[in-house]
Amino acid sequence: MNNDVESQVALEREGPHEPPQPELNARARRVLKHLDAVLPDVDALYRDLHQHPELSAQEAHTAAEVARRLEAEGYEVTRGIGGHGVVGLLCNGDGPTVMLRGDMDALPIEEKTGLSYASHVTTPDGEPVMHACGHDVHTVCLTGTAALLARSRDAWRGTVMVVAQPAEETLQGARAMLEDGLYARFGTPDVVLGQHTAPLPVGAFMHREGATMMGSANVRIRLFGRGAHGATPHLAVDPVVMGASLVMRLQTIVSRELSPQEAAVVTVGHFQAGTRANVIPYEALLELTVRTEDDAVQARVLAAIERIAKADAEASAAPRPPQVEVLSSSPVNYNDPALLRRIRDAHAGWFGSGALVPGMLVPQSEDFPRFAQGPRQAVPTAFWFMGVTPLKAWNEAPGTTPLEKVSHLPGPHTSLYAPDREGSLRKGCESLTVAALACLHAGTASRDS
Ligand SMILES: [Zn+2]
Ligand SMILES: [Zn+2]
C-alpha cells in the first residue's frame, strides 16, 4: 500500500535522517495486533453513521453509539458535555494524559456518491444531510483506537481521554465542551491529538509544524440607508451602491494593507438588498469570511473591515453607522512544533517515510485549536491529515503533482466526497493509535514481541 502511495505522491524524503522507532513500533505492534478484531465493529459503526448523519448540535445517535462502545471497553464515560459531547477516560497507571479528539457532525449537503451506504437523510424541513467532511471517519477511528488501547493495557501507561466533539462545522462544539468544564471536570490533558480526512491518496499522511490550518472569522455587516422610489435616487441614501462599493473596497485589505508574507483571504459570500427593480431599499446585508495564517493578522483584518465599512457609510451620508458583527471565529490551528515532530516521526516509523507528503497550510478552519487553551497554560496540540481517496481514483485523476490531482478529485464539503472505506478506517485507527502511543509511557516489558 505504501509503495503505491509512494509512486503517486511527491514525497517528503526524510528517510535516512529520521530517528528509527523500533521501541515504539514494537509497542504499536502489541496494540495493533487487536486491529483485525476491532475493525468489523469500526466498519459497522462507520456505515451506520455515514447512512444516518446528524447536523451540528444534533448528534444524539452518534454520541450514544460512541458512549456505548467506550463503556463496553471499560472507559469511564460522561455524556452531554457541551451539547452531545462524550468524554471517556481510561486511567492506566502513572503517565501523561493524552486527549484524542474526534468530531461527530455532518453537513447540509445532498450525497451523490452512489455508495450502497449513502445517506438519504433529510431534516424535517427537507434539508439533505451528508457526512461530507469525513467526521464519521474521525469518530469511528476514535472508537476503534479507544478499543485498541483498552485491550492492550500492558503496552502503555498513562491516561487516555477520548473526546467525541459535537458541532465542529459551526465552530461551536469545542468551545461549548470547554465552557461546560471539559478540563475543569476531567483534568487538563498534557497533549491533545486530532486528525482529519483529506483528498490525498489513502495511506498518505500530511503534517505541518506551526500553523497547519488558517484561522477564520465570519462577519455580518448591516448597512443602513434611506429608501425611496427607484426613479428618485437623489431622495435616497442607496444601500445597494454603498454595499457594492464596500465589496470592492474590502478586497483592498489583502492587496493593499497586508504584507505579501501575510497570507489572508477576505470573501464576501452573501450580499442581499432590495426586492424590486424600482425600489431603493433601506438596508443591505453582507456576510464575509476571513481566513488568516496568524491571529494578530486576523485582528488587523477585522479592524480594517469595521473601519472601511464605517467610513464608506459616512462617505455615503448614511443615516447611521453600519452594524459590524463577528458571527463566529476560530483561531489558527497551530501545531506545537516538538509534539508535531514526535507524531510525524512516529508515523514515518510506522507507515514508512514514503507515506508522508510535504505539509501545506490549509485554508480551511477548525475549532480544534480551542483545545490548546488550557485554564492555566497552553496545551500542546497536534493535528494531521490522512488521505482517504481510493488509489484507483487517485491514479486516474489528471495531473502529475498532488495539487493538480486534488483539483480533479471530490474534496470535503462536496456531494461526491467518498473516502475509501476499508483503507481509511484501517489507516486512521493505526495513525491515531501510533500517535497516542508516541505520547503515552511504555508499559510493562513485552511478552510477545
Ligand atoms: Zn468540514
Ligand atoms: Zn471537518
| pLDDT tens-place string over residues 60-78 | 999 999 999 999 999 999 9
Question: What is the mean pLDDT of the segment spanning 178-199?
Answer: 98
- Which listed ligand is nearest to 109 at the C-alpha? 1
pLDDT of 218 reads: 95
Q: 184 CA to middle of ligand 1, Å?
A: 28
Q: Which residue has the cell 453509539?
A: 65
SS3 percent helix, strand, coil of the chain, rounded to 5, is: 40, 25, 35
306 phi and psi angles, rounded to 5 deg: -65, -45
Looking at 5-19, 94-108, 190-204, which range is the least confident one? 5-19
Q: 301 CA to middle of ligand 1, Å?
A: 23
DSSP string, 222-274: EEE-B-EETT-GGGSB-HHHHHHHHHHHHHHIIIIIS-TTS-EEEEEEEEEE-
CA distance 423 to 111: 21
Q: 133 CA to middle of ligand 1, Å?
A: 5
CA distance 269 to 47: 34
pLDDT of 447 reads: 52
- Which listed ligand is nearest to 197 at the C-alpha? 2
Q: 321 CA to middle of ligand 2, Å?
A: 36
How many residues does this entry show for the chain? Answer: 449
Q: 134 CA to middle of ligand 2, Å?
A: 6
Question: What is the mean pLDDT of the segment spanning 102-122?
Answer: 98
Task: Tell me the average pLDDT of the chain.
Answer: 94
Percent of the chain with pLDDT over 90: 91
Q: 164 CA to middle of ligand 2, Å?
A: 13
pLDDT of 2 reads: 38
CA-wise closest residue to 211 among 36, 337, 392, 122: 337
Question: What is the mean pLDDT of the segment spanning 116-120?
Answer: 98
Per-residue pLDDT band at 446 (split at 50, 70, 90): low
What is the three-class DSSP state of 181? coil
pLDDT of 19 reads: 60
Q: 196 CA to middle of ligand 2, Å?
A: 6
234 phi and psi angles, rounded to 5 deg: -70, -15
Question: 278, 229 in Cβ contact below 8 A?
Answer: yes
Per-residue pLDDT band at 444 (split at 50, 70, 90): confident
pTM for this model (two decimals): 0.88
Q: 245 CA to middle of ligand 1, Å?
A: 31
Q: 412 CA to middle of ligand 1, Å?
A: 7
Question: What is the mean pLDDT of the segment spanning 34-42?
Answer: 98
Q: 232 CA to middle of ligand 2, Å?
A: 49
Q: 169 CA to middle of ligand 2, Å?
A: 7
CA-wise closest residue to 185 among 95, 94, 96, 85: 85
Per-residue pLDDT band at 17 (split at 50, 70, 90): very low
Question: 383, 368 in Cβ contact below 8 A?
Answer: yes
Check if CATH label 3.40.50.720 holds for domain 215-330. no
- Which protein residues have a CB closer than 5 Å to ligand 2 (ion)? 133
CA distance 31 to 40: 17
pLDDT of 21 reads: 82
Question: 250, 288 in Cβ contact below 8 A?
Answer: yes
Q: 365 CA to middle of ligand 2, Å?
A: 8
CA-wise closest residue to 144 among 88, 93, 60, 183: 88
Q: What is the CATH number of domain 2-213+332-442?
A: 3.40.630.10
Question: What is the mean pLDDT of the segment spanning 357-373?
Answer: 94
Q: 67 CA to middle of ligand 1, Å?
A: 23
Per-residue pLDDT band at 16 (split at 50, 70, 90): very low
pLDDT of 402 reads: 86
The model's pLDDT over 366-406, given as tens digits with 9 standing for 90+, comes to: 999 999 999 889 999 999 999 999 999 999 999 998 889 99
Q: What secondary structure letter does DSSP report for 190?
A: S
Q: 190 CA to middle of ligand 2, Å?
A: 24
Question: What is the mean pLDDT of the segment spanning 91-116?
Answer: 98
CATH 3.40.630.10 domain position(s) in the chain: 2-213+332-442
- Which listed ligand is nearest to 170 at the C-alpha? 1
CA 146 to centroid of chain Cα atoms: 20
pLDDT of 5 reads: 44
pLDDT of 403 reads: 85
How many CB atoms are closer than 10 A to CB 23? 11
Q: 356 CA to middle of ligand 2, Å?
A: 20
Q: 169 CA to middle of ligand 1, Å?
A: 5
Rg (alpha carbons) of the chain, rounded to whole number: 24
- Which listed ligand is nearest to 194 at the C-alpha? 2
- Which listed ligand is nearest to 130 at the C-alpha? 1
CA distance 57 to 106: 10
Q: 198 CA to middle of ligand 2, Å?
A: 9
Q: 364 CA to middle of ligand 2, Å?
A: 9
Q: 194 CA to middle of ligand 1, Å?
A: 14
Percent of the chain with pLDDT over 70: 94
Q: Which residue has the cell 524524503?
A: 13
CA distance 233 to 249: 22
CATH 3.30.70.360 domain position(s) in the chain: 215-330
286 phi and psi angles, rounded to 5 deg: -120, 140
